[in-house]
Structure formats: C-alpha cells, structure tokens
Structure 1
Amino acid sequence: MKQMILIFVGGGTGSMLRYLISKWLGSAVFPWGTFAVNIIGCFLIGLLGTWIARHSLSPELRLLLVVGVCGGFTTFSTFSNEALTMLRSNQHILCLAYIFLSIAAGLAATFVGAKICNFSS
C-alpha cells in the first residue's frame, strides 16, 4: 500500500507540473508544452534513475520520483494525440518533425541525465 501511495503522490505532482508548464508554454503551431515536459522528463528519468541506482537509495524514492513524478510529468498519449491531430490537419512535415525530434531529443536527454551521474561519481 505504501508503494501505491508514493506513486499516487508523485504522479499527481508530476501531472500538475506538466499542466502548468504546458499552459505556460502554450501550443499555437507546435506543441511546445508537451515537447518540453517530455524532454525534461526524459532527462530527469536518466538523472534520477541513475543517481538512485548508483547510490543504492531506497526503492521507495525511485517509486516516488521516477515512477511517480516523472511518470506523471511525461505524456506519451498526449504526444501521440498531437501527432495524429497534425496528420488529420495535413501537417505531415510538422508531424514527422515532431515525432523525430521528440524521440531523438528524448533519448539524448535520458543519456545526458545518466551521464551527468556517471561524471559526478
């Protein structure tokens, strides 16, 4: 039960942060809010996941921060829906750019987050 509460609290916190950042950045032509939270979330997952593992910190901390906060903060479903909306609006090039940039930047951000932990040890 404790694990579920940690994920619940972290997920709610991450979701609220995602909402605030998405509203702040907006999405007139390009969905900058979703793009930003997904890239930031990937970076944080790489950083926190590696940091927690390298320092043998509690599994509860991982559940709260990585699974809960980062899981609630990032959003694959909104990314997919926005890409589909672009396709339906005949914005094929923008859609492909969004998909490619999201995947490439997300992987790079996760890698950089993990590498920062490796350099600091």
Structure 2
Amino acid sequence: MNWVLVILGGTVGAPLRYLTDRAVQSRHDSGFPWGTFTVNVVGCLVLGTLTGAATAGAASSHLQLLLGTGLCGALTTYSTFSYETLRLAESGARAQAALNAIASVTAGLGAAFVGVTVAQAIWA
C-alpha cells in the first residue's frame, strides 16, 4: 500500500514540476533557471510544512508518503539544479552559477524552516 501512495504523489508532482518550470521560465528572458529554482523552493516549503505537521502529530505516515516522498520527490529536482548550475558555469556565466547555488540552498533551507515553524505554530 505504501508504494501506491508514493506513486500517486509522484504522478501529480512530476507534471506539476514540468508545467510550473515551463510557466515560470517562459516569463523570464535570462538564462537563470527560475523554473527549477521555484519548484525546488516550493517543494522545500511543502516538505517543511509537512515535517512540522508530522512532528506535531497532525500528519500521518500515509500523508508523509503521499506528499513528502511522492509529491515533493517528483516536484523537486536536485539533478536538474546541478545540471543547470554546471551549464551556467561552463557557458561563462560563473556569477549566475554561483548565485544559483547559493540562492537555491539558502532559499530552500529558509523555506523548509518557515514551513516547519508555521506548521508547529498551527498544530502545537
């Protein structure tokens, strides 16, 4: 049963990742990977919120599998983040590559922290 929840979450997360990436990226003329940045930060926020809810006893293990492992696992993408950062550096846009790496890690951790904090405030 657990694997079905992961598959269901991934079935929603993967197309959501693609559609969000395309929608966000189409609104920017720069080579900066705004779409990937957006899905990764949103995924960190969702996972942080889910983690906060779980630690407060408000999220079941089934919900964690569905949303955390399935949805967020398919929504976020470390491999694309790595590839796009490397591509920026190789094309000579080293400042953008560094900015992408620093901003992605900082914003992702910040979003996860905010999610945990808000969820614990709501359910604690």
Report the TM range for the smaller structure's normalisation. over 0.9
Return 5+ residue gaps in structure 2 as ranges.
none
Q: Cα distance, 1:56 vs. partner?
A: 5.0
Residue 55 (structure 1) shift:
2.0
- Counterpart Cα distance in 2 of 1:94 and 1:58: 40
Q: Which residue of 2 aligns with 1:45?
A: 47
User: Deviations 1:10-59 (Å, cap 9, x if unpaired)?
Assistant: 01211111111001011642111000000000011000122133125421
Aligned twin of 1:19: 18
Measure, in 2, the Cα distance between the counterparts of 1:99 and 1:57.
31
Residue of 60, 63, 66 corresponding to 1:61: 63
Moved over 3 A (4+): none
Change (3 A) 1:72 1:108: same
Report matched runs for 1:1-121 at 5 Å. Answer: 2-26=1-25, 28-55=30-57, 57-120=59-122, 121=124
Q: Secondary structure at the match of 2:92?
A: coil
TM-score of the pair, normalised by structure 1: 0.93
- Structure 2 CA distance for aligned equivalents of residues 57 and 101 of structure 1: 29
What CA distance in whole angstroms lies between the structure 1 residues aligned with 2:59 and 2:103? 33
| Deviation per residue, 1:45-84 (Å, 9 max, x gap) | 0001221331254211110011110111100000000001
Residue correspondences, number = 120
Do 2:52 and 2:118's aligned partners in 1 also have CA atoms closer than 8 Å? no
Q: Percent identity?
A: 38
Q: Which TM-score applies when normalising by structure 2?
A: 0.91
